[in-house]
Amino acid sequence: METIASILGNLGIGGPHALMFALLLPFFPLLLILNRMVRERGSPPLRPIPGYDALDEYVGQATESGRSLHISMGTGGVGTGETAESLAGVYVLERIAAQAAASGLKPIVTMSDPSLLPVAQDVLRNAYAVQGYQEEYDPTCVRFISSDKVAYSAGVTDILDHSDVAANIMVGSFGDEFLLMSEVGARRELGQVGGATSPQILPFVYASVDHSLIGEEIFAAGAYLLKKTSHIASLATQDWLRTAIIVAIVIGILLRSLA
């Protein structure tokens, strides 16, 4: 460890940064190799995540009953510390948008950070364009409610109460306001799928939502829903590195206890 640190120090990278660099570096070659492997051998078996299965089912039910669907992409935005979670919400939206464009379902997409607004509109528009229904795309399906999280949850509550929605999908970065929205959904007996990474609200997600996506399960959206090779490969990469970290932790514990 010290040698790596000194090498990096010579390159001009400071102490704690060296450790970060050492953690970051394996990602690139691993992703490259695993991407090629997935391309050639197909996807490795993925354990079933009930949240994603439920998602498809709710979309189907909503379509059949002629009602709409509410999707919240979280209260984070892109370009912030919550970019990855917000992007997870975008991938979920991409999947639902594809089904919506094909079946005439009109989703209501809400977000609290304005930087997600053009992203969501773009995703929806492209979904309609792929199917050839450009003229059916309605930009007011995507609604920016408010930057303030509490106001956002109030707006979502209104949508859940008064627009005829059949299901409520909330995947992304959330704060305490998650419970405000999910409880209203539960009260209206909507089908709900909720996913968040913040430990602060995971208990809320678990308790108030029928199908929850805990922590990094939301990052698997691209792999499970869209089946993109690059996402499956990155899931595999994360698994490898996680195993490496676990091994390192165990070794560290042993060394500490024995010393």
Partner 1 sequence: MRGLINALTIGMKRTIPMAIAIAIGSLMLVDFFFDETHINALGAFFLQSTVIVVAFALLLGLLNVLVVHVRKIGKRKEGWLYSICLLGAAVAVILAGIPGPDSSVLKWIFDNVQYPLQATTFSLLAFYVATAAYRGFRLRSLESLAFVAAVILVLLGQVPIGRYLGDLVPTAKDWILNVPSTAGVRGIIIGVALGTIATGVRVLMGFDRPYGGEGSETR
Partner 2 sequence: MIDCPHCGAANREGSKFCGDCGQPLGVAGELACPMCDTPNRPGSTVCTECGARLAPVSVPLTEESPEPLEVGEEGLSLESAGDEETAAEPSEPSEVEQPPDIPEPLPGEPMPPWVKKLEGISPEELPAEEGEEASLAPGELPDWLEVPPEFEGMFTEAAPTAEEEIQRGEIPSWLEVLRPTEEGVGEPAEPGGPVETTGLLKGIKGALAVEPILAIPRRAGPVSPFLPSETAIERAGLFETILREPVRPNAEIARPRGRGMLLASTIRWIIYLIVAMAVAVPMLLGSNWTAGYLRASPPTVAFYDTIENLAPESVVLISHDYNPGVAAEMAPQVEVVLDHLMERQARLINVSLTPEGPRLSQRILDRVAEAHGYVLGEDYVNLGYVVGVEAGPRSVVEGFVSGGGTDFAEGIEDIALIVEFAGAPTYLRLWLEQVQGPYQVPMVAGVSATADPFARPYYRNLARSQLLGMMTGLVGAAEYERHSGYPGVALASMDSQSVVHVSVVLLVLIGNVAYFSGRSKRG
Positions in 127-156 near partner 1 (CB under 8 A): 127, 129-130, 139-140, 142-148, 150, 153-154
Distances (CA, A) of 18 to 9, 30, 246: 7, 19, 20
Q: How far is the CB of 103 from partner 2 (least distance, A)?
A: 12
Residue 130 within binding range of partner 2, rule CB under 8 A: yes
Residue 228 within binding range of partner 2, rule CB under 8 A: yes
Structure tokens at 5: 């640190």
Positions in 162-181 near partner 2 (CB under 8 A): 166-167, 175-177
Which of helix, strand or coil describes residue 259? coil
**Which part of the chain contacts partner 1 (CB under 8 A), choosing from 41-49, 52-60, 63-71, 206-214?**
206-214
Q: Are strands 142-144 and 165-173 parallel, antiparallel or unpaired?
A: unpaired
* Among 44, 53, 139, 227, interactor with partner 2 by CB under 8 A: 227
**C-alpha closest to that of 23 among 252, 250, 240, 251:** 240
Q: Where are the alpha helices (DSSP H) in 138-200?
A: 149-162, 177-187
Residue 42 within binding range of partner 2, rule CB under 8 A: yes
Residue 154 within binding range of partner 2, rule CB under 8 A: no
Structure tokens at 251: 């070794």
Tally the residues of the chain.
259
Residue 41 within binding range of partner 2, rule CB under 8 A: yes
Nearer to partner 2, 89 or 191 (CB): 191
**C-alpha closest to that of 234 among 98, 31, 59, 42:** 31
Binding mask 179-218 for partner 2 (x = CB under 8 A): --------x-xxx------xxxx-----------------
